[in-house]
Amino acid sequence: MATIDLIIIAVYLIGIFAVGYYLKGYVDNFNDFMIANSRMGIALGVASMAGTELGLITVMYNAQKGVSGLFAAFHIGLIAFIVTLAVGLSGFVIAKLRELKVKSIPEFYKIRYGENVRVWGALFLVFGGILNMGLFLKVGALFLQGVFGGMSVDISIIMLCLLALVLFYTMMGGMMSVIITDYIQFVVLSIGLIASTFIIVSKMGGLDAVFSYVQASKGTSAFSPVSNSEFGYSYIIWMVILGFVSCVVWPTSATRALAMKDVDSVKKQYIWSSISFLIRFMIPCFLGILAYIYIDSHDIVINSQEISLDNSDDKLKAMPILLSQVLPVGILGLVVAGMLAAFMSTHDSYLLCWSTIITNDIISPLSKEKLSSDRKIYISRIIILLLGIYILYWGLFYEGSDDIWDYLAITGSVYFSGAISLIIFGVYSKFANSYGAYASLFCGLISLLGLGPLKEYLNIDMSGAVIGIITLVTSAFAMLIGSFYGNILSNNKRELV
């Protein structure tokens, strides 16, 4: 990497930190820290949601899907676009939540099912969410190793340095700084990725050459998700579920919606964000396809080891390796700066989300005395530090062969399998009650069987997508049966009285 690239990266990161520090002065209370006091406009809301969802982890796992699934993987982005657009046009679920003026999904649980369900729901949310972000730090370190040509620095040192950057930044300004820097990061990274795509395609001989190489290499399976061994019908159904989850049920997206100033703004936010949900998958996935072509047609050796597309870590490094070897000076620095900012953007969003939910929906309800805003912010910052230590540990010691996207889907399913039932039945039905809510939440633990190490240990011959669908169906069934039982008990109590 040339000196000019390093200068661009340094200047950009210093600027991001300066903005975050400046916005620290705008945090007056816990509502400001958690959801920017629900005063975000449409343009900023769309960019903030896009910025959060276009993190380094997103670019890396989408590129990895491009390397392994090629053009057939495009169906994931297309499904996300259609589902998000439908939610925006209809206001399904999210408009109702915004009308209630809640700050988080567990706050809705309290209104609909009671305080205890709120606490348990928050526990499952945090457990699934913390597991979900466990590999973010490692993926960021692998990106740097790839883009800097296999730097010889131990990955644990890289992870520790990245973590220090993220923790310092996140604890400063809360949601206010997250939103503004999301905006900046989204613009810079979008320009960098689009420019990179055009440059690399041009150097590879144009789109015709790209399609021809993939066709000759993999045939029809490279274009059809049905015939591609990576996917299939169950995987497509699973992607429809994840499309809904990622834009409505997942707390980092829900928090952005709940920070909007009114219901109409929420709908418009989702309509416009549907385009970003499509692009945030398509461009990184396409870069992954280009990385597949480049590495498949070249002998790439880094630190005396040949890069192999049969290795999951090398698949992750494929896209940054491509960028480092093909992009011109200046453009590479801009893209890497944007990627590092995206890395911080996703981390600060997730750390802020989980820490404030733990504070607002677990510690605060269980506390014997009312916590002040300053106290809540202090507790949230301590939790952010503890979560940072966890993701460092988990990234270093978790051993699994799962694709990052599939890992994220399964770990997130611990929370969202039950949450989907609690939210949809809770918003649109009077039938659901706390008995069904508890049953549905606990069924989410079934999804842990889809994790690579557990599947191997228990010798489970079933895809993560199938296990995820089974978990979701079981959770919905448990909600119905549990609520039916709860209603019978309630009727019997009334008759006795």
CA dihedral 361, 365, 369, 373 (to 10 degrees): 20
pLDDT of 442 above 90: yes
Q: What is the pLDDT of residues 359-403, one digit of tens each?
A: 877 888 877 777 777 787 788 888 888 888 888 888 888 776 667
| Residue 485 binned pLDDT confidence (cut-offs 50, 70, 90) | confident
Q: Name residue 115's amino acid.
A: E
What per-residue confidence (pLDDT) applies to 140? 81
| Residue 286 binned pLDDT confidence (cut-offs 50, 70, 90) | very high
Q: What is the pLDDT of residues 217-264, one digit of tens each?
A: 888 888 989 888 888 888 999 999 888 887 778 776 776 666 677 778
Give Cα 236 distance to the centre of its chain. Answer: 19
What does the pLDDT average to over 35-41? 48
What per-residue confidence (pLDDT) applies to 24? 59
Beta-strand relationship, 301-302 and 305-306: antiparallel
Name the pTM for this structure: 0.78
Mean pLDDT of the chain: 80
